[in-house]
Amino acid sequence: MPGKIGTHNGKFHCDEALACFMLKCLGDFSDFSVVRSRDPAVLGDCDIVVDVGGVFDHSKRRYDHHQKTFNETMNSLGELPFHTKLSSAGLVYAHYGKKIIANIIGEPLDSVKVSLFYHRVYESFLEQIDANDNGIPQYEGTPKYKSSGGICGRVGRFNPHWNEAEVEPDERFQQAMQCVGNEFIDTVKYLANVWWPARETIESAIDKRFQNDPSGRIIVLELGGVPWKEHFFELEEEKSLQADNITYIVYQDTTDNSWRVQAIPTNKMANFQNRLPLTAAWRGLRDEELSKEAGIESCVFVHMSGFIGGNRTREGALEMARKSMQHASDEEKKEETDNSSGEGWTKAAGSAAIAGLAIGLGIWWARRQTNRAAIQNERIEFELDKIRTELAQLRADILLLKDGQIPRSQSGILRKERNVSWRAEPGTEGLPRPQSYASSMTSDGEYVDAEDEWNEQSFTAQLTVNSALDQVGYIGSRKEFRNAQNFTNCD
């Protein structure tokens, strides 16, 4: 007795319609009937249940995604690197997708084609259905225009309308299954019949690129109209050819049998940024004017942006690519030369500036030190003058002391109150003390004390002078100091 695939009744969506269709593509379930109900008893009697029941358990063939704890993605299930939350369609595809694709294209389950198609079908067809059913927007912000909703919108229109009478909902669901199922099969067949042969063509052209130019930077497609961009970037990554800097692709325009040379975009998502646009001087020119400017016969046009150009011959299109690369290389060399010259001039100028700065700083420092020395020297001279005055006064006091005269020294050195015994001569008692202290107030001991004090003052003065001179580096004669001062003034 045939088995049953259960899903919910009421309004249907694209995900359960596709899930049911994919299951019936498998030989094990091809004769299963589809039962639509929310009755747990009815669903419990089904062999497979999708999009209803609140359970995801592959071992029990239960594939619902509405439960609060469900967050599975193709990535979390270890299938593909996509992070969109799965719907019932995604769950069925994750567990049966490779078998379904292998059945459609007639290839072994472990073939390279099946693996590539499995990835590509999810990316280009299934993921949008998962996202739509889980309420995940394609982008953030307010849409700038209204969309019909794609395949999900088309399936939704099979639901009975509010003003339709005597409509069989299950019959409409079967129609919805067939609609989305046909697009699914068309997607797989397109990959097998169009996409894959194009990939093989591009791969062959990449492998033969050194036959077109020694640089290996030009690819030639002998057949026009081959969709090449997606395949080129995938193969470039698979073969690790990014460092080869493949720059142009040349192919035939099937509308008039002329040839095109197109600059390869910087990446598969870029529309206007190219690795190397055609020569700037050619852009916007046509026919004879372009041929004259380029020095290449049979030129047809070059787009204003430089992303594509045309020539009536294969060899002419190739030459346009070669010359554009040569012009770019010449420009790079010229720029390097200019930069090198500029760097040389900059280094020379920098060296001269550094040397000038060093000389200037040297002169400034010498002047600064000289000025400081001059100021310090003036202070020293002032202190020396004071010391000389003191010494002169001291000498005068000592000379007067030697002569027996004892004035009150202005220097204060001899201002000492000494208790000198004085004996009055007979008959002079009661008279004032005499002014001459030679015999009565000054002894040889006092003279010696004064002489020692003078010597001590003289020695201290000399130490003061030497210390001051050492602080300013004044080691030498005044003549040497003047010579240094004269040197710093000659700049």
Does 239 fall in a domain?
yes
Does 183 fall in a domain?
yes
Does 257 fall in a domain?
yes
Do 308 and 441 belong together in one domain?
no
Do 300 and 275 belong together in one domain?
yes
Q: Helical H runs in 50-135?
A: 88-105, 112-121, 127-133
Pairwise CA distance, residues 84 & 97, whole Å: 17
Task: Check if the beta carbon of residue 128 is closer than 8 Å to that of residue 151.
Answer: yes
Does 336 fall in a domain?
yes
> Which sign does the torsion angle of CA 368, 372, 375, 378 carry?
negative
Pairwise CA distance, residues 118 & 80, whole Å: 9
Does 399 fall in a domain?
yes
Q: Which two tokens stand for residue 293?
A: 């400017």
Task: Check if the beta carbon of residue 119 is closer than 8 Å to that of residue 204.
Answer: no
DSSP string covering 15-41: HHHHHHHHHHTSTTTTT-EEEE---HH
Does 426 fall in a domain?
no
Does 144 fall in a domain?
no
Q: Which domain holds residue 474?
A: 329-417+436-488
Half-sphere CA count of 50, side-chain side, radius 13 A: 26
Task: Check if the beta carbon of residue 4 is closer than 8 Å to that of residue 46.
Answer: yes
State pLDDT tens for residues 399-422.
776 666 654 444 444 444 333 333
Task: Check if the beta carbon of residue 102 is closer than 8 Å to that of residue 108.
Answer: yes
User: Which run of H or of E encompasses 43?
Assistant: helix 40-44
Pairwise CA distance, residues 232 & 229, whole Å: 5
The residues near 151 (Cβ < 8 Å, ≥ 6 apart) are: 14, 125, 128, 129, 179, 180, 183
Pairwise CA distance, residues 207 & 403, whole Å: 125
Do 333 and 307 belong together in one domain?
no
- Tokens 């690369």 found at: 325
pLDDT, one tens digit for every residue, the chain (491 residues)? 789 999 999 999 999 999 999 999 999 999 999 999 999 999 999 999 999 999 999 999 999 999 999 999 999 999 999 999 999 999 999 999 999 999 999 999 999 999 999 999 999 999 999 999 999 998 888 888 887 779 999 999 999 999 998 899 999 999 999 999 999 999 999 999 999 999 999 999 999 999 999 999 999 998 888 989 989 999 999 999 999 999 999 999 988 889 999 999 998 888 778 999 999 999 999 999 999 999 999 999 999 999 999 999 999 999 999 999 999 999 888 877 777 666 666 666 677 778 777 787 778 777 777 777 777 777 777 777 777 777 777 777 777 766 666 544 444 444 443 333 334 444 444 444 444 333 333 444 544 555 555 555 555 555 554 554 454 444 444 444 444 444 434 44
Do 293 and 377 belong together in one domain?
no
Question: Does residue 267 sit in helix, strand or coil?
Answer: coil
Do 357 and 471 belong together in one domain?
yes
Pairwise CA distance, residues 184 & 190, whole Å: 10
